[in-house]
Amino acid sequence: MVVYRRGLPPYHGDNDTVVPASQSEHLHALLTRAGAESTYRTIPGAGHCFENYSDVAGLIDDSVKFFDTKLAQPGA
């Protein structure tokens, strides 16, 4: 739950046939309403596991940077 309190960068493929994009949109809305930092990003053409998306490594890098910033321990 610490992650949710400090924020989350939800991504969702617009070609996901497993989990509706509305689930990520709803999570984003709840996080924002609760005062957490949240950015919602639709990934064009990507499926559930981001198949058919050419820059999965970029998504991972963006996520790592986000979590490094949000979960960093002061003085660590």
pTM above 0.75, yes or no: no
Contact status, residue 56 vs residue 24, Cβ threshold 8 Å: no
pLDDT for 1: 35
**What are the boundaries of each domain within the chain?**
8-56
- Tens digit of pLDDT for each residue in 48-66? 888 888 998 998 898 888 8
- Tens digit of pLDDT for each residue in 10-46? 788 999 999 998 998 898 888 889 888 788 889 888 8
